[in-house]
């Protein structure tokens, strides 16, 4: 079976680990990763979501934190701060720096991001084929108004520095309109037996991937059933501030609103948490088969059960 999953960072990576636990030997998982969170820091190209997937599936992740390397130190960051060189709000550890140095060096030598990602994965052996959504530069920016006026700032500045404390007025995927899907992306979608939307951020993770021209159309057209899992439980994101970016696109922070935001043109099945069982009829009324199952990725077994439920729903809705 060929499974394709669109993925952001932590929510996507943790779900993918559960998915790997339940697939049969020989099944192939292709992950299309969000690169809209990418940022240039200290002259280096940093791809937070691709790295979170790679480290999580490759056994290098800082488990409690959910991002960055395990057993990390911060000597380089402290030295940069001593020189007065920032930003200090983005946590790059010493081991993590090596990844960004290798990536930047390869990009400088002319390799596309997809080839660089493949080379990095040679070391980490994540057990999935990890493709960036695009080799072209796409950067998510957030329009805000604060004491300094109205302006657009990089998504990482909004998320990590400001902790999404200010309302997001608009989300702009800069460069997305002219970006091309990375090699293999459209082919994987077309050849898939199942397409999954993990409980990743619907706006700045999955939404950004779908904003690359051709990807949304390919998913909508695909022969494979498309099943998504709600990142919202009981009216709140399980982790992070997804409600702030949902509000920016006019979508309520609820399991049913996210399903309707994707819409019946795109998804063929939707899983909500048992706490949101009342959302099932609303989602089904919109033409999207829906089930309520436990959706908290509290441990590997719970996460694997979520992946199994998603694959089962895919089988049920297969035409
Ligand atoms: P990011 O790029 O690191 O923000 O990660 P993603 O976009 O892949 O996932 C973030 C989303 O994962 C957030 O909106 C969370 O609500 C969701 N999330 C995190 N943990 C869980 C969980 O245990 N269950 C569910 N259903 N969603 C989760
Ligand atoms: Ca992200």
For 12-28, what is each residue's pLDDT tens digit?
Answer: 999 999 999 999 999 99
What's the 13 CA to ligand 1 centre distance in angstroms?
Answer: 9
Whether the model clears a pTM of 0.95, i.e. scores above it, the answer is yes
Residue to probe by mutation, ligand 1, list 5, 8, 10, most atoms within 8 Å of CB = 10
How long a stretch of residues is the chain? 319
What's the 147 CA to ligand 1 centre distance in angstroms?
Answer: 30
What's the 263 CA to ligand 2 centre distance in angstroms?
Answer: 22
Instruction: Assess whether the C-beta atom of 202 lies below 6 angstroms from ligand 1.
Output: no
Residue with tokens 């895919």: 314
Question: In whole numbers, what is the pLDDT of the chain averaged over residues?
Answer: 97
> What is the per-residue pLDDT across 75-89, written as a single tens digit (0 to 9) for each?
999 999 999 999 999
Contacts of 63 by beta carbon, 8 Å cutoff, 6+ apart: 70
Instruction: Assess whether the C-beta atom of 33 lies below 6 angstroms from ligand 1.
Output: no
What's the 108 CA to ligand 1 centre distance in angstroms?
Answer: 32
pLDDT, averaged in runs of 10, over the chain (319 residues): 98 98 97 98 98 98 96 97 94 97 98 98 98 98 96 98 97 98 98 98 98 98 98 96 97 98 98 98 98 97 98 94
Half-sphere exposure of 265 (CA within 13 A, CB side): 6
What's the 200 CA to ligand 2 centre distance in angstroms?
Answer: 8
Residue to probe by mutation, ligand 1, list 11, 229, 230, most atoms within 8 Å of CB = 11
Nearest CA to ligand 1 atom 4: 9
What is the 3-state secondary structure of the chain?
CEEEEEECCHHHHHHHHHHHHHCCCCCEEEEEECCCCCEEECCEEECHHHHHHHHHHHCCECCCCCCCECCCCCHHHHHHHHCCCCCCCCCCCHHHHHHHHHHHHHHHCCCCHHHHHHHHHHHHCCCCEEEECECCCCEEEEEEEECCEEEEEEHHHHHHHCCCCCCCCEEEEECHHHCCECCCHHHHHHHCCEEEECCCCCCCCHHHHHCCCCHHHHHHHCCCCEEEECCEECCEECCCCHHHHHHHCCCCCCHHHHHHHHCCCCCCEEEECHHHCCHHHHHHHCCCCEEECCCCCCCHHHHHHHHHHHHHHHHHHCC
Instruction: Assess whether the C-beta atom of 266 lies below 6 angstroms from ligand 1.
Output: no
- Report the atom number in ligand 1 closest to the C-alpha of 303: 23
Residue to probe by mutation, ligand 1, list 200, 256, 297, most atoms within 8 Å of CB = 200
- Going by their DSSP bridges, the two strands 194-197 and 2-7 should be labelled as parallel
């Amino acid at each position: 079976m060929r499974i394709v999953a669109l993925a952001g960072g932590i929510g996507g990576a943790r779900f993918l680990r559960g998915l790997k636990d339940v697939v049969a030997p020989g099944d192939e998982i292709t992950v299309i990763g969000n690169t809209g969170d990418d940022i240039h820091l200290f002259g280096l190209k940093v791809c937070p979501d691709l790295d979170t997937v790679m480290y999580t599936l490759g056994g290098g992740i800082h488990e409690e934190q959910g991002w960055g390397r395990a057993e990390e130190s911060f000597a380089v960051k402290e030295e940069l701060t001593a020189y007065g060189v920032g930003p200090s709000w983005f946590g790059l550890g010493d081991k993590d720096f090596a990844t960004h140095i290798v990536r930047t060096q390869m990009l400088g030598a002319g390799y596309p991001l997809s080839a660089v990602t493949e080379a990095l994965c040679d070391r980490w052996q994540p057990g999935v084929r990890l493709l960036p959504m695009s080799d072209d530069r796409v950067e998510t920016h957030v329009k805000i108004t604060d004491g300094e006026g109205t302006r657009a700032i990089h998504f990482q500045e909004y998320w990590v520095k400001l902790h999404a404390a200010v309302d997001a007025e608009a989300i702009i995927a800069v460069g997305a309109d002219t970006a091309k899907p990375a090699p293999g992306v459209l082919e994987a979608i077309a050849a898939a037996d199942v397409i999954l939307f993990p409980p990743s951020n619907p706006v700045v993770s999955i939404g950004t991937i779908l904003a690359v021209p051709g990807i949304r159309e390919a998913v909508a057209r695909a022969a494979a059933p498309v099943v998504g899992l709600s990142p919202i439980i009981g009216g709140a994101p399980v982790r992070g501030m997804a409600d702030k970016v949902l509000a920016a696109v006019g979508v309520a922070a609820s399991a049913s609103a996210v399903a309707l935001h994707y819409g019946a043109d795109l998804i063929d099945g939707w899983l909500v948490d048992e706490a949101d069982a009342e959302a099932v009829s609303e989602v089904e009324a919109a033409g999207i088969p829906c089930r309520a199952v436990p959706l908290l990725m509290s441990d590997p077994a719970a996460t694997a059960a979520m992946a199994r439920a998603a694959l089962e729903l895919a089988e049920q809705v297969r035409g």
